[in-house]
Amino acid sequence: MHPLIIISLSVVGVILIIPIYFLYKPAKKINNLYGYRTPRSMINQKNWDIAQEYFPKKLFWFSLFSVAVLLILSIFISLSAALLIAMGLWLISSFVTILLTEMHLKRLNKK
């Protein structure tokens, strides 16, 4: 099997496994090692619980989108270029997911 195909499959696996793992194994208590950890999410247990549920759901959908982009682009352009684009898209969407989660927590704290 071509090394680029192995790398692509590995990247797809990681992109999908991370949010799925956090969906099914969320961090229960505030800690400094595991889970969605930002100052706002660690203010109290309520914020922590909300962030541990909200972040992986959003990240999962962005991850699926990134994988779909990889699959579609690999038909039209080289696999290496499609892989780079999909990885870049996933990286950007990870930051967007963090921003969305922080905005969600901020809205909840205003209520």
Q: Tens place of pLDDT for every residue, the chain, 111 residues?
A: 678 788 888 888 888 999 999 999 999 999 999 999 999 999 999 999 999 999 999 999 999 999 999 989 999 999 899 999 999 999 999 999 999 999 999 999 886
105 contacts 49 by C-beta, under 8 angstroms = no
Q: What is the pLDDT of residue 12?
A: 87
Residue type (1 letter), 87: M
Where does residue 18 rank: exposed (0-12), middle (13-18), buried (19+ CB within 10 A)?
Answer: middle
